[in-house]
Chains A and B, each alone.
Chain A
Amino acid sequence: MSILDLRNIYKTYGKGDNEVIAVDGISIKVDKGDIIAIMGPSGCGKSTLLNILGCIDTPSQGEYYIDDFQVDFKKLNQLSKIRNEKISFIFQNFALIKDLSVLENVMLPLKFRGIARKERVNKAIKYLNELDIFNLKNKSIRQLSGGQQQRVAIARALTQESEIILADEPTGALDQENSIKIMKILQELNQKHNKTILVVTHDNLVARFCNKTLKMKDGKWDSIK
């Protein structure tokens, strides 16, 4: 069963002579538990595609289904709910709030779900332990290395307990050793928790940890491995 189903998605910017097609009729079905790498040169439309998949950008045309439920991009509240319940993000720049502690960052998504602080703490500690960074819980983000920061970001994504993780160049700011560690974590999450993970990357090393690689060129699929 497809957890994500994109049908003939287009995304254009500008009008008339200035029109730029960022995504040009992309269709894809992603099954639950897939771990997929999306690769391609800069400007090929992969991040735009990820924005659409993450319900933070609106396609110009096409249909998008999550768990057989059609996303209505006009309903902002529905988009927020999908992002809140179904999708977690991992960013190249980690997107952590630097002046909050590790624990506070990891708990943050739960704060807005109205979960009591005690439960938030318990959940955050569970995932900090799982990612082996419990000892960092009271440290400020500024005190952490790049690899540690990305682990915190992954822990935060996990506390949301959503089925889909979208990662944009998750190892882009890391050295090779840390990149391998992070990808191993993502692979483990995929296998252990059956998370569906889509990773946008330039790095062939990252792609090696995925069970499927999609290559984009000029807003279209170039090849599927």
Chain B
Amino acid sequence: MKSKFIFFDIKRNLIVNVLIILEVALWIFYAASLVSLINFDRSYRNRYNRSISIDNSKFMTFYKMILKENKDIEDYKNDIKESLKLISKNNYTYGFIQRDLYTDIPTDVLGLNSKDLESDFTKKDEMDELIHPIGFNYGMIEHYQNNIVQQISKEEWIRSEDYISVIVGNDLAKKVKVGTSYVVNNITYKIVGQFKKDVLAFDYTNSVDSSFLLNKSFVIPLSEETFFQNFGYQPITIFFNGDKENNSTELESNIRKISDDIVISDFGDDLDKFLEEIKSKKYYEIFRIIIITIIASASIITTINYKIAEDVDRIGILYSFGISKKDIFKTFSSEFLINILVGIIGGSLFYLENCGSVYEFFINENLLFNLYISMGILLLTIILIMLISFNEINKLTPKDMMGGFTE
């Protein structure tokens, strides 16, 4: 029988070892989740800012038009078109996004399976075996250029008789390679670009509520004609080309003159409102996780103290061999750290697997960073625990430890 461990042999101390590993894993998982939640606002703002240029754009929504029945939809469309002309006249650009629900692309043609299309937000979504492309006009593509790996020119972003240009989401790009073409129902789709990871887009009235990730998207060109043909009150983003502060007010008042039912909003307002709305839930989650983290830390300390109390005789035996308390502590802590390491690996894997999203709808973009922070905090806690352990060992008298030399 070979044994490498004196204090934490896995077979002989199975329960204590498993307990420590579980406690550490639990600690890592919850501490990393805690850091995620604390960073939630900043993280969400950063992601939102990267995808949607808050400082350079505003967006037009048309929800007021839905409520009114005394006016024809075509009249509204004309008002919107008028507004777009006005935007162009001012040398600003605009962009729109519309899901193409009439085009079905079978996933197997692209060499994908349903798992490749599984939602990042929630596992509850049932994925079918068809992809519905998302249409972007060139104005929108131009705006997203920083979020696309390749440079896409206006000439490239076309729906011609020969082929339809496609930009794929970051996840799909692993299988659907840029430069390749696919023929579906006699239509050739040419992959001309790929989005960077975790780029957000939105396609309805509230830019936050309707936001979605483009990671698993199949984006194709969308003409103004098609947009209005299938118009479903999708918002239009105005890009001010760096002159938002000075000219947005004038443009807004001119558009209002065309129609009172066109509402121009700031992206920042939606974002602030959203973050305000979830504040109480976020604080509740933080409080809950802090309590769990404290319990996990206390359990680790208790287990270690129990372990020292249980092993006081073997500490004494080593002491009688002339092993110094420092070396006994070194042996104890090095064996203990192996358990900690197993717990850290287990907890980290569980966290990485399960904390891709927060609240099931927001991708946790600082996954590794949060993990490193929590590992750092854990290591500090472990050092503290070790100092407590060493102090406990140091306090032991020869009589406590050895017991043999008694009257």
Taking Cβ atoms with an 8 Å cutoff, the residues of A that contact B are 42-48, 50-51, 54, 56-57, 76-77, 80-85, 87, 89, 91-93, 95-97, 99-101, 103-104, 108-109, 112, 138, 160, 168, 200
* Contacts A56-B405, A95-B404 given; does A89 touch B6 at CB 8 Å: no
Contact with A along B1-20 (1 / 0, CB 8 A): 10100100100100000000
A108 and B399 CA atoms in complex are apart in Å by 21
Complex Cα–Cα for A125 and B407 (A) = 34
18 examples of A-B residue contacts, CB within 8 angstroms: A43-B407, A54-B320, A76-B324, A80-B324, A81-B322, A84-B321, A87-B322, A91-B320, A91-B404, A95-B316, A95-B317, A95-B403, A97-B317, A100-B3, A108-B318, A112-B322, A112-B323, A112-B331
**Residue pair B327, A54 in contact (C-beta under 8 Å):** no
Closest-CB distance, B246 to chain A (whole angstroms): 77
Which residues of B108-163 are within 8 A (CB) of A?
A: none
Residue B398 CB within 8 A of the other chain: yes
Q: Are B320 and A42 in contact (CB under 8 A)?
A: no
For the complex, give the distance between the alpha carbons of A184 and B367 in Å: 69
A87–B321 CA distance with the chains assembled, in angstroms: 8
A87 to B399, CA, bound (A): 17
Query: Does B402 have its Cβ within 8 Å of any Cβ on chain A?
Result: yes
Give 20 new A-B contacts, CB below 8 A, not counting A84-B321, A108-B318, A112-B318.
Answer: A45-B407, A47-B407, A54-B405, A56-B319, A56-B402, A82-B322, A83-B319, A83-B322, A84-B323, A85-B322, A89-B402, A92-B404, A93-B404, A95-B316, A95-B403, A96-B317, A99-B12, A108-B321, A112-B321, A112-B327
Distance in Å from the Cβ of A26 to the closest Cβ of chain B? 15
In the complex where A84-B323, A95-B320, A112-B323 touch, is A104 in contact with B404 (Cβ < 8 A)?
no
Interface range on chain B: under 10, 10 to 19, 20 to 34, or 35 or more? 20 to 34
CB distance from B194 to the nearest CB of A (A): 55
A58 to nearest B CB, angstroms? 10
User: Judging by beta carbons under 8 Å apart, are A80 and B405 in contact?
Assistant: no
Q: CB distance B404 to A89 under 8 Å?
A: yes
- Shortest beta-carbon distance, B108 to chain A, in Å? 58
Contact A95 B402 (CB under 8 A): yes
CB distance from B5 to the nearest CB of A (A): 10
